[in-house]
Amino acid sequence: MLYSLFNTVAALYLGALIIYILWVRLHWSRPWWLQAFSTISPWAFAPTLALPALAVLMRSPLFCLLSIAAASIFAYQFLRPMFPHHEIARRVEPAHLKAMTANLLKINTRQVGKIIGAIIAESPDVVALQELKAEHAQAIDTLLADAYPHRLLSPGKDSEGMGLLSRYPFLDSAEHIVAPGANPTQTARIEINGRSVWLVNSHPRIPDLHLCHQAGVRYPCGLSTTKRRADVEGIIQLAQRLGGDAILLGDFNLTDQCEEYGLLTAQWADAYRVAGKGPGLTYPVGRPFFGLHSPFPLFRIDYLFYPPTWRPLRAHTGAMPGSDHRYLVVELA
């Protein structure tokens, strides 16, 4: 009886994993519940890694076969992309551009000094900031004016605040609203070694989760990614209109399992996926996610996407004081 139960569990895991991967790879339309599941899919399928160890105790050939198949497919789909190619890992050449992106958290106004310290410690050439508040902007103007003489700072009252800092002069800069109600998207053109490149600081909106109430219990009954998709499509169209190399960076509020990720990687490459080591999880930090307090980040939602004319050498994340995001730093050539 016990063997039959465990065999059924392993078969269900394997079947669900195969169906999910096929659904995603074939680009079938995702209902709201699958869109929500996509975000947490690595964690939902992670128990498959424990199945082979359990197979040793079970001594069931069928369970062993099912568990090894499920764990192998999980590792290929979710773990393999976490490690860079060997030729990337061996590169020690100097970077032409070191870029940093950080969501500062809109209520994080008491640790501006430590935020400035984190930026100085990394010493990037350009910095993209999201959820910039007036207190952040004032500290940047006061303490980082010499290090970053070229700044485009637009603090906000909520999550719409954005900022770009650069050691290189801005040859052109602007702010754009890519969709109705969207956070501003900042663009700035800089020149490096005689070569022009656009920086696109982005912050698409989060999906709308719909909750239903029954017998005093709240439960999710719908998820709309319409606003986020409109923002991502608008950012892509904006970058295409710039007429040159464009590096997209920021808090995109999506994981690599979301549909919009595929829209971005159809034209740009994910720098951390190519040059980073490990999962690179950036959110949430020190704050609950739907009531869950996790000792480590659960998702990777902060990115730098680069065009084919550039290549990443190294990528890492770091702790941003007081923020619920880890920052991302990428060195490119």
Whether residue 90 has pLDDT greater than 70: no
Q: What is the mean pLDDT of residues 19-35?
A: 92
Q: What is the pLDDT of residue 225?
A: 94
Q: Which of 86-95, 168-177, 281-290 has the lowest mean pLDDT?
A: 86-95
Per-residue pLDDT at 42: 94
**pLDDT by residue (tens digit) across 178-230?**
999 999 999 999 999 888 999 999 999 999 888 888 877 777 788 899 999 99
In CATH terms, the superfamily for domain 86-332 is: Endonuclease/exonuclease/phosphatase (3.60.10.10)
- pLDDT at res. 218: 78
Q: Which of 50-54, 108-112, 284-288 is modeled with the greatest confidence?
A: 108-112
Cis peptide before 207 (omega within 30 of 0): no
Would you say residue 240 has pLDDT above 80?
yes
**The two three-digit tokens of residue 149, written as one number:** 């003489």
Q: What is the pTM assigned to this prediction?
A: 0.92
- pLDDT greater than 60 at residue 292: yes
Q: In this structure, are strands 208-214 and 195-202 parallel, antiparallel, or unpaired?
A: unpaired
Question: Does pLDDT of 87 surpass 70?
Answer: no
pLDDT (0 to 100) of residue 307: 96
